[in-house]
Amino acid sequence: MTTFAAALLAAWERRTPGAKPYASEAVAAVLLDRAGVTVEDVEMGRVIVGVGDDGDLHDAVAWIGQRIWPDHYIDATDVPNTPQRDRERAVVHADIGDVVGPQAWQQAVGEAGYGLIVVVTHPDAVHAAIGSWTTKSVTLDRVDAEGVIASVVQLVTGTRPTLTSSLKDVTVADIRTALGPRDHCNSAVAKMTILRDLRASAYEKLMAKRRQEIADAKGRDTTKEFLDGLLDGEPKHERDTPLSKLSGFGPAKAWGLEVAADLIAYRQGELAWADCDRGVLLSGPPGVGKTRFARALAAEAGVKFFPSSFSSLCGASSSGYQVEKGLKKLFDEARKHAPCIVFLDEMDSVPGRDFKPDHNSSYFNAVNNAFLECLDGAEPRDGIVVIAATNFPERVDAALRRPGRLDREIAIPLPGIDDLAGIIRHHIGWQVPPELDGQVMLAARACRGMSPADVEQVCRDARRRARRDFGRAAALPGDIVWVVRERSGERDAAGERLVTVHEAGHAIVALAVGMHLDYVDADRQHTALRKAANPTAAVMEREMVMTLAGRAAEQVIIGEVTTGSVSDLKAATASAVAYHAVYGFGRETGLLSLDVQALDGWGPLHQGVRALVDRCYARALALVHHHRDNVERVAAALVQDRYLDGAEVRALVRHPLLKLVRPQVDEPEAYPDWATSDPRVGSRWGKTQANTA
């Protein structure tokens, strides 16, 4: 008879050699084994599994079934739509709601050729007629029962922990948040107890804080504050947070802190207005926090904030005079409260005069002229810093960006991992202790690529989940990870294997040829590298080898190349064309630099490009062959973590990459010894060639 723990490990080994199971799956495996249920019981019979009121445990049983029987584990509701040939091999998963009556139960059982597993709250709640069909009925232990968590940790990490304190009331959610295959067994257990204790005390602490806030508010009219918060879409504490306390905003934050210091000095008479920046044009994708930045800058400087937008200035009128009137009123009010911040959103809604004229041009020109008059007209605007925001800076009139008006343009990028961690701490709703720093970073990695507005929404959803599913007033970092993963949906195992191997190939070959690796992101199918600004011929060739390494990894490890690598092939081909026809590096084409668009069909170029791409691909194949173990190891880590930075990739490989590969942008003096130890790589990639290139 096969235990679920053994079957789970075997399933992961088939999918990704060396990988360990997820914590939730391990919990289900350990509890099913303790209940005496075997894999054969499910495959050949009809098993009822009681999980109590734990919704996470209910999900875990479903997940382990999908892992062990990935090709023929189906939901009872999908049975009617499943082809007959697949039904004959099926293991059907059903909830009690799917089989509330004998007929539905009999249909599900009859369609399943192998077996059926029904997950219920309590087995004794099963209809009597349904119960007569079962071959086994069990109730799973609580996850905090003696020995369960130790076995789960051992299954995930490979090492049994030393238990020094009680694990009573630890939940599946705590285990899932605290435990990963790369965690030390004892530290994972310690984090579980921290999460349990936080959950127990968070609600009472939050209620005490609310009671104090109510007591402090007595005798004060808080209606306006409440309505302001509703209208602005953010709580009062969000609106008053100074810029120095917020994360993200890229280079705009450094500029903003300098401007805040200047405004304070100007207000105190220590700095002339002529020495202060007058304004900025903020650009960036929606949701990066342009409005929040402007509000936080005003809070940092302790000055009044005047928010507006061109749509609000227009009101219900389509007249340019209405906008001109609104702008004049806005700046007149700002002059009364200088120093202050004026924020104007939607700058791109008024195209500049560089755009193609049309029947609206006279209206837009009038609006631009009115704004220019406010920025740099007869009436001074001493003490008024103007922050204009746009998603499309190229549409803003060039005259507005001159010095003395909007002095500079700053793009706010999407936040990086460290900034995301700070944003999560700000929005999660409570002071996260240092013990959970690692979990916050995991949540930040899960949110990579999101805007601050996206992260705020995720944190809101996480708090809702904490209240709804666990009765917690506060969300934990693990709730955020869960929300993000739920949004991404179920991953296809074969497709995930292809993506992780492809990106791991890029990463390992990049290190092998001496390039600087920033990170690898499996979810976004991207490997970030720093490339030389003015590469030599040798550096260009190495970059082409790295570009083709994902395709090479597919061929060597997967066994066949997919169409997904076409973008890499296009990029390598474009580099090879530039190598020959633009930079004059090719022997076949000679020393020249031509218009690439005019070279279609030129024989020497085609021959040279083909030979160079073939040569670089052969080197990529050789490096992937030689470092296959490293590629596999990084791919397995990407399956688990989805994102690895350069230091983590270097730490994963067996060869001493971290010591031998120097992370620099310019061409390295030499390749690491291990990169040239395989004769298939070729002597050109050794120290002599690199030093003389």
Mean pLDDT of 170-189: 81
Task: Give phi and psi for 213, each to the nearest 5.
Answer: -65, -40
Mean pLDDT of 667-671: 32
More confident residue, 83 or 198: 198
Please give the positions annotated as active site: 503
**Structure confidence at residue 364 (pLDDT):** 61
**Structure confidence at residue 510 (pLDDT):** 92
Helix, strand and coil percent figures for the chain, each rounded to 5:
60, 10, 30
Domains (range + CATH), the chain: 4-141 (3.40.50), 236-411 (3.40.50.300), 417-469 (no CATH), 493-692 (1.20.58.760)
Mean pLDDT of 548-555: 94
- DSSP character string of 440-456: HHHHHHHTTT--HHHHH
Assign 65 a pLDDT band (cuts: 50, 70, 90).
confident
> What CA–CA distance (Å, rounded) separates 48 from 132?
11
Lowest mean pLDDT among 42-56, 61-75, 354-368, 598-612: 354-368
pLDDT exceeds 90 at position 30 = yes
pLDDT exceeds 70 at position 244 = yes
Assign 614 a pLDDT band (cuts: 50, 70, 90).
very high
**Structure confidence at residue 676 (pLDDT):** 36
pLDDT exceeds 50 at position 580 = yes
**Structure confidence at residue 692 (pLDDT):** 26
| H runs (alpha helix) in 302-384 | 310-314, 320-336, 361-376
* pLDDT tens by residue, 393-420: 877 777 776 776 677 888 888 888 888 8
**Structure confidence at residue 616 (pLDDT):** 94
**Structure confidence at residue 350 (pLDDT):** 64
Q: What percent of the chain is modeled with pLDDT above 90?
A: 15
Smallest CA-to-CA distance from 620 within 515, 510, 485 is with 510
**Most confident listed range (375-384, 574-583, 621-630, 680-689):** 621-630
**Structure confidence at residue 645 (pLDDT):** 81
**Structure confidence at residue 201 (pLDDT):** 64
**Structure confidence at residue 667 (pLDDT):** 30
Mean pLDDT of 574-601: 75
**Structure confidence at residue 38 (pLDDT):** 92
181 three-state secondary structure? coil
pLDDT exceeds 80 at position 672 = no
Q: H-helix or E-strand containing 305?
A: strand 304-309
- DSSP character string of 86-132: HHTT-EEEEEGGGGSSHHHHHHHHHH-SSEEEEEES-GGGS-HHHHT
Assign 183 a pLDDT band (cuts: 50, 70, 90).
confident
pLDDT exceeds 70 at position 132 = no
pLDDT exceeds 70 at position 619 = yes
Lowest mean pLDDT among 141-155, 353-367, 461-475, 518-532: 353-367
Mean pLDDT of 38-63: 81
Tokens coding 646: 């350069």
**Structure confidence at residue 273 (pLDDT):** 87
**Structure confidence at residue 31 (pLDDT):** 92
Model pTM above 0.85 = no
Q: H-helix or E-strand containing 635?
A: helix 628-641
**Structure confidence at residue 679 (pLDDT):** 33
pLDDT exceeds 60 at position 522 = yes
> What CA–CA distance (Å, rounded) separates 91 from 114?
6
**Structure confidence at residue 169 (pLDDT):** 82
pLDDT exceeds 60 at position 222 = no
Chain mean pLDDT for the chain: 76
Handedness of CA 566, 571, 572, 577 (dihedral sign): positive
Assign 29 a pLDDT band (cuts: 50, 70, 90).
very high
pLDDT exceeds 90 at position 547 = yes
Q: What percent of the chain is modeled with pLDDT above 70?
A: 72
More confident residue, 532 or 677: 532
| H runs (alpha helix) in 432-585 | 437-446, 452-470, 477-488, 493-512, 537-553, 566-581
Mean pLDDT of 24-31: 90
**Structure confidence at residue 599 (pLDDT):** 58
Task: Give phi and psi for 218, each to the nearest 5.
Answer: -60, 135
**Structure confidence at residue 507 (pLDDT):** 93
> What CA–CA distance (Å, rounded) separates 462 from 428?
8
Assign 532 a pLDDT band (cuts: 50, 70, 90).
confident
List b or e across 388-420, with b for residues whose CB sees 16 or more CB atoms inside 10 angstroms.
Answer: bbbbebeebbebbbeeebbbeebebebbeeebb
**Structure confidence at residue 637 (pLDDT):** 85
> What CA–CA distance (Å, rounded) separates 684 from 246?
50
**Most confident listed range (105-109, 340-344, 437-441, 679-683):** 340-344
**Structure confidence at residue 393 (pLDDT):** 80
CB-based contact 506:520 (threshold 8 Å): yes
